[in-house]
Amino acid sequence: MVADFKDETQDVLSQVGEATDDFRTADRLESVPKLPEAVSDSVGSLVQRAREFRAKVGYETAVHDYKAETETVDALSAVDQVTRNIAGKDASAASARLTDFLKSNPEPGATTKTIMAVPHFDTAAVQPFGKGRQCPHAARGIVCRREQNE
């Protein structure tokens, strides 16, 4: 059961990585594509499997003993939802979902940092954060790649 869950998590992580050009960041909000339907379905299936896994082993055990897998599934789910929000031109929902994820995962692991290293947007202006403006998630250890390049 554990090995299958870990394998499925890695498989879906690879699918999302391929669909996002290895989690390449985008410069503009409108250039962030929605995940392909088959990949989104795989994420949804993995999320359901994760719920079942957590129910079997217990939530606390899943969070502590399988932290990397649990966090990865949550991050993949967030990416799927955020890309759908962006495709639907709902920047505030995308930002809220990222914030919710980061509140639940205040110290993300290396894989999660890679998955979540997406551009962060100022939803009031619907513009990427630029020079002199700090990404609101920087305090959580998520470095906005756009800020790194400026």
Phi and psi for 126 in degrees, rounded to 5?
50, 45
Q: Residue 22: its pLDDT value, please?
A: 77
Give dist(CA 31, CA 36) in Å, integer: 15
Q: What is the pLDDT along the chain (150 residues), one digit of tens a residue?
A: 889 999 999 999 999 988 887 777 666 656 778 899 999 999 999 999 999 999 999 999 988 899 889 999 998 999 899 889 988 888 889 888 888 888 887 777 766 766 766 544 433 433 444 444 445 444 444 444 444 444
Task: With CA atoms as reference, report the closest residue to 127 among 2, 35, 29, 16.
Answer: 29
Give dist(CA 6, CA 18) in Å, integer: 18
Structure pTM? 0.72
DSSP string, 29-92: GGG-PPPPHHHHHHHHHHHHHHHHHHHHH-HHHHHHHTHHHHHHHHHHHHHHHHHHHHHTT-HH
Torsion angle, alpha carbons of 36, 23, 83, 99, to 10:
150
Give bridge partners of residue 140 from the DSSP assignment. none
Give dist(CA 45, CA 88) in Å, integer: 22
HSE-CB for 34 with a 13 A CA cutoff: 13
